Structure 1
């Protein structure tokens, strides 16, 4: 009986693998000719910045080379999904502006992911000169989403990001957990969402459509010069941040005179999420 069940399991696994491979092999590639310029900031948890040089090591490897390797693996993961973008070698610097790190309410060690993302965008906007550029802040500090100051159940995240902003007039940015074992996994997830995907992995046909729409804002190798008009932007009322999914950058603000209602600054009509992973 056990051998029969084992054969059934092996057959199901083979069928599933074949179906997955077939769906990927027949999927039309997107992203050809699209380049991604990368800026990387990292805090002392990733590598001490006091004696930073371009040859400064993470473990036994120079930090610049380490992040170059990470983003080459990010590019390869997209290629496996038939997203044929080119990720250029990142510009890597230690985090000097400590105000970017916003601690979770009531915590002395964990980050408020959304507020840290807001600070990252605010401080890096002047350094972003091209629409196909993404700035990543890597940290080993825990990243959490906390909708309200009195929210006792903040949610741990692997990343928070500006969803769907690539090649738009908005800054593209992400706060990413640095994970030693597979350091390319979390930046891949964040980048997929910045491209407009609704999923961080196991991308579906609808995610391809959204990402392809995003890439259409870019010319080959260069960002589009026209203003963004890909999505219609609206505001909406919600009674709790946790009910909003896929919110873009600005997140939520408390409505004056109301302790129960929150108002998202800007929400995509198509899909609305609070960035997270």
Structure 2
């Protein structure tokens, strides 16, 4: 049996653009590669790209049928049309993962079934603000862990396990959606309070698991942040020690010792030249002589 191949996400969490603003997306770690390629093909086949290809084809046909003088112009126009089609398709494929602010206002294929490709906090709006906040916190924790400088010090498999734990927590939360709808209906029906309470207990157990996963992932983030701060201090101390060692090795005393006799040597040359040409004493020498005479 052939092993199923999955499209590995570039990053577990990415920032997506939606009509209501930006949001963090937690990507499904097990999207079949064939399924993802279908989505890429759909993204590439935009109306504008297909229209440009059709225009390019018409221009090519016209270039073949018209007299030679117009062939080059039509061929150039066709090339521009095909280039635009490639650009348009490529731009949509490259932005497929993160651009979800669609002009139509309708969700794209990636958004229609929460969890098929990714989860985001808004998928759980019906679950209440508390659950939605926990979902947001779980996704942020995965992002923080994978983008932290401390990630380089962690076993990649351990880092991946935090990603899978987050995904599994949101997946079971999504699977509880039908039960939540039924439990809500049971509470409104007479004589079903007992069953409704039992379902509520089961749902609360799921919510408790999500709380615990959130707490554990936040704990991982706190540890990663502490190590990052420690690394920063270590780096500063290492840099300071290296600079201090460099300062100690600078030949400062040698420079001072070699500079001290310069004034005396220059004075000796200058006074010798003065005596040779009989230029008379310097002002400071006169002051020195007058001061000496006054003292006597």
- The TM-score, its normalising length taken from structure 2, stands at 0.22
Structure showing greater radius of gyration is 2
- The TM-score, its normalising length taken from structure 1, stands at 0.23
Relative to its length, the structure with more helix (as a share) is: 2
